[in-house]
Structure 1
Amino acid sequence: MMERHEIEAFLTLAEELHFRRATERLGLAHGRVSQTIKQLERRLGVSLFDRTSRRVALTPAGQRLYDDLAPAYRRIQEAVARTIAYGKGVTGTLRVGFSSQWAGDAVLEAADVFRGRYPDCAVEVQEVQLADPFGPMRAGELDLQLTEFPVDEPDLVAGPVIFSEPRALIVPARHPFARRESVCLEDLARTSLVAMSGAIPDYWLDYHYPRETPEGRPITHSASAVYWAEVLSLVAMGRGVSPAALRAAQYHGRPGIVFVPFRDAPPIEYGLIWPRSGHTARVRAFAEILHQIAP
């Protein structure tokens, strides 16, 4: 028979093939993994690892033990995780929204990890339009959402920032700013903005589509759009410029527009929100995973 600490030490060393890394991964004292493996080999009467000053490698017997033991141990861990999840209420269905494609990528990646960790809980993912950023959640369609901050709503909880993105200014390809390496916030007073409209709080609009520069110079708003695709079309038509995350260029680049980085604008922060009465075990578990894997 193998004790639990022997199984964990063997499997970890077999994966790391490095005593120090295996020891650090297990959070053990220096030399503990080496001692455990030596005791295990003596008891089994076989050598599991070849050790030299430069490398650690599995012996044929060690490889056979790993191939047989690793899948069984994973099944045990999964069974324990399912039991804990069931006891904590991580079951049922979790509905998660996102408001941009790059936020959607993070949500979908987290959903894959979540399903593997909590197989008794389904995850449904949907896009939320910026024109109505809180509507689906208030309608009871979502339990959790990854969205642009700031969010200051009495019925919603704004969790910690998950990641942030540098800002850029989307300009028409023939605009003078299109030939620059960067722009500054004061430059907004020399052009006009295409802004989002809809059921959007004023504080959110003022933050992302300001009416004046940091020095107090007025910024003209020339057009508004309900959907993001409209913003891109209006900018391409020369109706104005629009702030956005710089990463949007990777997803929404198209003829007629150029993404010019800001050199002095704060980044756009993305965080999780959920209903004030909805801080469930499912929400907590997904938030933890997303925080771990987010860029």
Structure 2
Amino acid sequence: MELRDIEIFLTLADELHFGRTAERLHITPSRVSHVIKKQERRLGVQLFERTSRTVRLTALGGQLRDELLPAHRRILQALDRTAAEGRAEAGELHAGYTGPWCADLLLRAAEELRGRHPGWSVRIREIQFNDLYGPLHRGELQLQIVEFPVLEPGVVAGPVLLREPRALLLPADHPLAERPSVSLEDLAEVPLLRLKGDHPQALVDVHFPRLTPLGRPIPRGPSYTYWHEIPVLVAAGFGASIVAARSAEYHARPGVAFVPFRDGPTLDYGVLLPAADPAPLVPAFVELLRSLAEGDGGR
């Protein structure tokens, strides 16, 4: 069934009138009738019950309408997005990140995008913990890569790009720093640094738990606002922080140790987008990010 034939069927299912259907589609009523009869012959079922006064969907016709309608909408949206991207010959995307490994991925995708669309560039910026979603809400960014889970009104979660093993960032002289790995239960033995401000409980539960899996309280350490405060507080002996294991490649310094967890979930980083329709080339850029991340094996 061709796309135009589907449009004729769906319009008639909506109007239930051959004349009005023809007017909406700028064709003749005989064309509408011909297409519907052809569809019914091909499918071997009656889609509409027709009399001289009424047109009604049959049960099978209604079922076909309900299944085709959302697919037809997605097809039209995809065509509209592609056309919009084709019309957009030049521009600039604004993207944010919270981890330097996310910045690396954004830079690689930006280079790939420039190769495919020479008139486009990508400007990236670091997002601070005290304003994780503000740049998206204010329209300063078209997308960002951020720690999941995210439960925030006005934004939508895209694909997960990176699943990072976790480590405990500890003072180098802490007894746990001498171990080859740590457990979530070991969090009861060291104060855990906290992020200042109020944040969604789902995010807090993953990154700043109050209890170990067995219910032991986790001591509370000082609070911080920016990432660069964390290794300073840890090196000074004020507490520890749950971080991506890859942080050791970017934030190693005297006085701290990174000890991998042998249990617990990964830290997941995914695409976050405004709830409004995406800007030109954003879907293509998100697909580039996903493809590059998959090529790295999720790293």
CA–CA distance in 2 between the matches of 1:268 and 1:289? 21
Closer, same or farther: CA 181–259 of 1 in aligned 2, 3 Å = same
Secondary structure of 2:108's aligned partner? helix
The aligned runs of 1:248-287 (5 Å cut-off) are 248-287=247-286
The aligned runs of 1:129-144 (5 Å cut-off) are 129-144=128-143
Residue 162 of structure 1: aligned partner: 161
Residue 72 of structure 1: aligned partner: none
Residue 219 of structure 2: aligned partner: 220
Closer, same or farther: CA 199–104 of 1 in aligned 2, 3 Å = farther
User: TM-score, normalization: structure 2?
Assistant: 0.68
User: 1:248, CA displacement in angstroms?
Assistant: 0.2
Shift >3 Å, 4+ stretches: 83-86, 88-91
CA–CA distance in 2 between the matches of 1:143 and 1:86? 15
Identity between Structure 1 and Structure 2 (%): 48
- Give the counterpart letter for 1:195 in structure 2: R
CA–CA distance in 1 between the matches of 2:138 and 2:198? 14
2:207 corresponds to 1:208:
yes
Runs of 5+ in structure 1 lacking a partner? 1-82
User: TM-score, normalization: structure 1?
Assistant: 0.69
CA–CA distance in 2 between the matches of 1:90 and 1:192? 53
User: 1:251, CA displacement in angstroms?
Assistant: 0.2
CA–CA distance in 1 between the matches of 2:189 and 2:237? 14
How much is the aligned-residue C-alpha RMSD, in angstroms? 1.7
Runs of 5+ in structure 2 lacking a partner? 1-81
Residue 176 of structure 1: aligned partner: 175
For residues 110-133 of structure 1, the C-alpha deviation after alignment (integer angstroms, 9 at most, x for no partner) is: 000011111222211111112221
Residue 230 of structure 2: aligned partner: 231
User: 1:281, CA displacement in angstroms?
Assistant: 3.9
CA–CA distance in 1 between the matches of 2:261 and 2:105? 24
Residue 151 of structure 2: aligned partner: 152
CA–CA distance in 2 between the matches of 1:245 and 1:267? 8
User: 1:205, CA displacement in angstroms?
Assistant: 1.8
Secondary structure of 2:177's aligned partner? helix
Instruction: State how many pairs are aligned.
Output: 213
8 Å CA contact 2:85, 2:280 repeated in 1: no
